[in-house]
């Protein structure tokens, strides 16, 4: 029996739950809400570092529900400060966890990038990595192969 009445919605909920469970396993967490917050924080930090074209290309490979999380609040029009250093990138992730001083933004970034690398085509991952400075490429499981 369908949970939502639409198989496309059931499928994206299943895929999103799979991504969250995988992220929880990588982080050794049991809290799905916290995993969602980590996924959202890292996806937004990454999205805001990419060109509009690359945002769309990566977004096209995400499950529908994850894609919605990824695009949530995004405005492609404004010029943004270019994050060039790992500390700046991690600070953007930390903004989502202000109340949790023990959250390790680098660990979160590495974990989400691991999940992305497991589900997004190698070619797209290479495209994303090629747009990042060396300091940020080192956060990917493949580690600066570009």
Give the other-Cβ count within 10 Å of 70's Cβ. Answer: 19
Q: What is the pLDDT of residue 41?
A: 97
Q: What is the pLDDT of residues 44-95, one digit of tens each?
A: 999 999 999 999 999 999 999 999 999 999 988 877 667 889 999 999 999 9
Residue 44 phi/psi, 5° resolution? -65, -40
Residue 141 scores a pLDDT above 70: yes
Expressed in percent and rounded to 5, the helix, strand and coil fractions of the chain are 65, 0, 35
What percent of the chain is predicted at pLDDT more than 70?
A: 93
State which fold the 7-72+81-137 domain adopts. Globin-like (1.10.490)
pLDDT higher than 50, residue 34: yes
pTM given for the model: 0.91
**pLDDT tens figures, 59-70:** 999 999 999 999
Q: Is 130 exposed, middle or buried (0-12, 13-18, 19+ CB in 10 A)?
A: exposed
Tokens 């529908």 sit on residue: 64
- What CA–CA distance (Å, rounded) separates 115 from 127? 16
Look at residue 7 in the predicted model and tell me its pLDDT: 87
Phi, psi of 55, rounded to the nearest 5 degrees: -60, -45
- Sorted by sequence, the CB contacts under 8 Å of residue 115 that are 6+ apart come out as 19, 22, 23, 26, 39
Closest CA to 82 of 122, 51, 55: 51
């Amino acid at each position: 029996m369908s949970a939502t009445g639409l198989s496309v919605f059931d499928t994206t909920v299943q895929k999103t739950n799979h991504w969250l469970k995988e992220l929880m396993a990588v982080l050794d967490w049991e809290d799905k809400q916290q995993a969602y917050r980590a996924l959202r924080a890292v996806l937004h930090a990454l999205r805001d570092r990419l060109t509009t074209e690359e945002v769309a290309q990566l977004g096209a490979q995400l499950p529908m529900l994850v894609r919605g999380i990824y695009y949530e609040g995004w405005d492609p029009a404004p010029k943004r400060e270019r994050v060039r250093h790992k500390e700046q990138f991690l600070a953007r992730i930390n903004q989502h966890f202000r109340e949790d001083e023990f959250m390790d933004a680098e660990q979160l970034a590495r974990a989400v990038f691991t999940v992305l690398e497991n589900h997004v085509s190698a070619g797209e991952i290479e495209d994303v990595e090629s747009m990042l400075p060396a300091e940020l490429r080192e956060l990917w499981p493949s580690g600066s192969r570009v």
